[in-house]
Amino acid sequence: MREALLIARREYVERIRSKAFRVSTLLIPIVFGLIFGIGAFSAKLTGGPKHLVLASNDPILAESVQAELLALRGEGSRREQASRLSVEVRAPVTGSELAALNAEVEGKRIDGYLWLDAKPGTTQPEATYTSSGSGDFFGKERIQYAIGHALVREELLKRGATSEGIAALLKDVDLKTLHLKNGEAVASDAGKSFWGAYVMTFMLYFAVVFYGVNVAHSVVSEKTSRVFEVLLASAKPESLMLGKLLGVGAVGLTQMGVWIVFILLLSASSLGMTLGPGGLAAYGVTPLQVIFFVLYFLLGFFFYSALSAGLGATVSQESEVQQFTMIIVLPQVIGLMLIVYILGNPGAWPVVLLSLFPPCTPIVMSLRMAAMSVPAWQLAVSLVLMVSSIYGMVWIASRIYRVGILMYGKRPTLPEMLRWLKYS
């Protein structure tokens, strides 16, 4: 263990000290910042004040639809954009005046117009929406919704209902969704259950692609520089691999830690606002889930790093490492593709098996934990399996690494590698 720690420390110190580490720690957030900045900037450009004209041959209908449209701006995900919406009513207008409106749209004086042609004797008007760009900023559904509500309101008024009564009737029903967790009904939201899995998948994917592969590079560079023969004469190959895994892994975790702390400091206030007064609990996230999230992330990270160490041990040139990224990422993609099925059937036996299969455990298990209360024995088994598979990977990697001394140039075939495991 002393050897493994020495090796881990060397890897860690040498990497942290390197210019590459400092540059990437600074540069990656800057690049991400720029990307988000550009995105926000372009949204701002397109999301300026919108001027909409409501033209109709029926002034009462037009005003009613206007009221509905303006009422909508306070709601929903497009709140930001809609809040800058102004709706101008021109009524009564005849169909022949539409050419003038078209010219206004062409001339960018207005962003679009909605033409409501009320046909006497029918309840449904003919509605046409014309806008300047193919990019629709308002949404077909909202317009349909507004017109529909307006029609109902007008009809009810005609039948003698009060405006208060109509407003109460037309209000959206507040639907609560619950699910049972540990025998207790708790608020659930399918959309919110996703976040843990998405964050897990994203973080794990990012960590593995950026850092897991570093372990492979580190293993290969030791082989090409032939340091490993000196090391093998003084330390057990298992200690070497374990040390490498811990050292290189810790570098990745340090860098991610720096960024997370940085982000938290920057956005502490806005994050609190997003999460609301209940914090994480409002999202149905329990402290246990947070603990397991961290645990599964670390185990997943080290599992994939160990896998990359093993793959690194089979090659003799750094350039060959790239080919492995696909192999490493694949099991994570499987977890992601099955999200809907897993959330729908968190207790089905194929899902249980998948959640116990170490490469998929972190993602599938965090999904299941969001969707149900996973039996303790399954959590225990998954942890044991992950830890032992990490150890197993280290063991296999160290065997291959050791026999790799005898290998030059050509890549070993699978049967050769299996024979190597028996050597030494």
Residues that bind other proteins (CB under 8 A): 3, 6-7, 10, 14, 18, 222, 225-236, 402-403, 405-406, 423-424
Starting at the edge strand found earlier in the chain, the sheet holding 50-56 runs: 85-90, 50-56, 112-117, 126-131
C-alpha radius of gyration, the chain, whole number: 30
Which amino acid is it at 319?
Answer: S
Q: What torsion do the CA atoms of 352, 358, 364, 368 make, to the nearest 10 degrees? A: 50
Looking at beta carbons only, is 128 or 424 nearer to other proteins? 424
Looking at beta carbons only, is 321 or 352 nearer to other proteins? 321
Q: Please report how close the Cβ of residue 329 comes to other proteins at its closest, in angstroms.
A: 29
Looking at beta carbons only, is 307 or 397 nearer to other proteins? 397
Q: Please report how close the Cβ of residue 214 comes to other proteins at its closest, in angstroms.
A: 14
Looking at beta carbons only, is 56 or 314 nearer to other proteins? 314
Alpha carbons 37 and 43: distance in angstroms, whole number? 10
Looking at beta carbons only, is 14 or 97 nearer to other proteins? 14
Per the CB < 8 A criterion, the answer to whether 379 and 289 are in contact is no
Looking at beta carbons only, is 231 or 339 nearer to other proteins? 231
Residue 112 phi, psi (nearest 5) = 175, 170
Q: Which letter does DSSP use for residue 212 in this model?
A: I
Q: Is the four-CA dihedral 104, 106, 112, 118 of positive or negative sign?
A: positive
Q: Please report how close the Cβ of residue 137 comes to other proteins at its closest, in angstroms.
A: 54
**Which token pair is 231?**
């090391």
Q: Please report how close the Cβ of residue 419 comes to other proteins at its closest, in angstroms.
A: 9
- 361 three-class SS: helix
Q: Please report how close the Cβ of residue 192 comes to other proteins at its closest, in angstroms.
A: 47
Q: Please report how close the Cβ of residue 387 comes to other proteins at its closest, in angstroms.
A: 24
**Burial tier of 383 (Cβ tally within 10 Å: 0-12, 13-18, 19+):** middle
